[in-house]
Amino acid sequence: MKKLIGIIIIIIFPMLSKATNGIKSEFQIKTDNDFFVPFGNTDKYYTFGQKFFFRRRIENRNRLFIGLDRLFKAEGSSKIIEFELGQEAYTPSNFSNNDFSQYDRPFAGWLYFGSYISTITDKKIIKIGVEIGVVGPSSFAGKVQNYIHEKISNKVLQGWMYQVQDRVGINVKAAYYKPVFSRKYVDFTFENNLSIGSEEVFYQGGGKIRIGRFNPISSSIAYNTSISGKKFEPEFFIDFSSNVKLVAYNATLQQSEGSNILYLNKEVNNLLTVYSVSINYNSRHFGANYSYHVRGGDLISLGPHRYGSINLFFRC
């Protein structure tokens, strides 16, 4: 019997190892909602988001990828290509008011498709990409929210008829992450995110602390790099992030003349603080996390807003 068990172990372990090394694809489902905050006020400001991701590790033999390595000084890096389909909805807190001119924020939706590529090493991650989508009724954010409300509470938000007008948006996105401190059960990573486009223009910078059992940033659920091919171990940790966001333009608030609601630049909050805490679990084929977010108001007159995020990851 012992010999039989030994033979099984000798046969199975290499097969598992080979299967593990062969994982190159990841599917992610993400949902944001202020309903996920215990004892919080719901249906205001950033009220919900639903996003779907597909990622695939790719080889470095392509001349373009070799050129990126040289440009970013990241020879021997892993590459992950990513596609995203997302929808976001924004509502005022006083949406029951019949006078839309009194709303503390306009109704708005953003429906978009994104494509990105990440260059990954143990010392840094560089991510670049582009998003294209539409702000306004064609985002179907109002229809989705009212459909859900009608099914759950038989209540719809009439204010969606006053949402910002249709407008096509294109954003170029870039991100840079670099660990600056690392010990066995705690580390700190410097984070930078930039968006330049017709839907939003901002820079967000800060850092993230991870505490627990985690992989380097090159193979962690925290940075969507679990399929990079780098050394991987199961993860279970909490993380805390603190960022400052400098906002130059936000199409869900600021639009061309003719919109029902137009907020002037002086009314927009150009300096936001963004905080979050997350609990993360990650295995080879499956991962999940919950995040609690607190961010400053989009307008100077608005207070902080809280919402929660749930992420599920499936790999093969």
Question: Does the residue 212 lie in any domain?
Answer: yes
**Alpha-carbon span 42 to 37, nearest angstrom:** 8
Contact (CB, 8 A) for 48 and 37: no
Question: Does the residue 78 lie in any domain?
Answer: yes
pLDDT for residue 271:
93
pLDDT for residue 35:
83
Give the chain as a 3 state SS string: CHHHHHHHHHHHHHHHHHHHHCCCEEEEEEEEEHHHCCCCCCCCEEEEEEEEEEEEEECCCCHHHHHHHHHHCCCCCEEEEEEEEEEEEEECCCCCCCCHHHCCCCCEEEEEEEEEEEEECCCCEEEEEEEEEEECHHHCHHHHHHHHHHHHCCCCCHHHHHCCCCEEEEEEEEEEEEEEEECCCEEEEEEEEEEEECCEEEEEEEEEEEEEECCCHHHCHHHCCCCCCCCCCCEEEEEEEEEEEEEEEECCCCCCCCCCCCCCHHHECCEEEEEEEEEEEECCCEEEEEEEEEECCCECCCCCEEEEEEEEEEEC
Q: How many CB atoms lie within 10 A of CB 5?
A: 9
Residue tagged 């006083």 (tokens): 94
Question: Does the residue 17 lie in any domain?
Answer: no
Q: For the chain, which residues score pLDDT lower than 50?
A: 1-20, 256-259
What residues make up the domain containing 275? 25-315
**Alpha-carbon span 60 to 218, nearest angstrom:** 16
CATH of the domain at 99: 2.40.128.140
Beta strands at 167-182 and 186-197: parallel, antiparallel or unpaired: antiparallel
Question: Does the residue 60 lie in any domain?
Answer: yes
Contact (CB, 8 A) for 178 and 208: no
Q: Report the number of distinct structural domains present in the chain.
A: 1
pLDDT for residue 2:
46
Question: Does the residue 6 lie in any domain?
Answer: no
CB-based contacts of 260, cutoff 8 Å, min separation 6: 100, 106, 162, 163, 164, 165
Question: Does the residue 230 lie in any domain?
Answer: yes
pLDDT for residue 180:
96
pLDDT for residue 8:
38
Query: At residue 90, what is the residue type?
Result: Y
* Residues 234-270 pLDDT 10s: 999 999 999 999 999 888 887 644 445 556 555 788 8
Residue tagged 């372990």 (tokens): 13
Question: Does the residue 16 lie in any domain?
Answer: no
Question: Does the residue 14 lie in any domain?
Answer: no
Q: What are the tokens at 216? A: 């380097």
pLDDT for residue 44:
77
pTM score: 0.86
71-89 burial: b if 16+ Cβ within 10 Å, else e: ebebeebbbbebebebbbb
CB-based contacts of 88, cutoff 8 Å, min separation 6: 32, 46, 48, 49, 109, 110, 141
Cα→Cα distances 257→49, 165, 260, 261, 264, Å: 27, 10, 9, 9, 11
**Alpha-carbon span 316 to 311, nearest angstrom:** 17
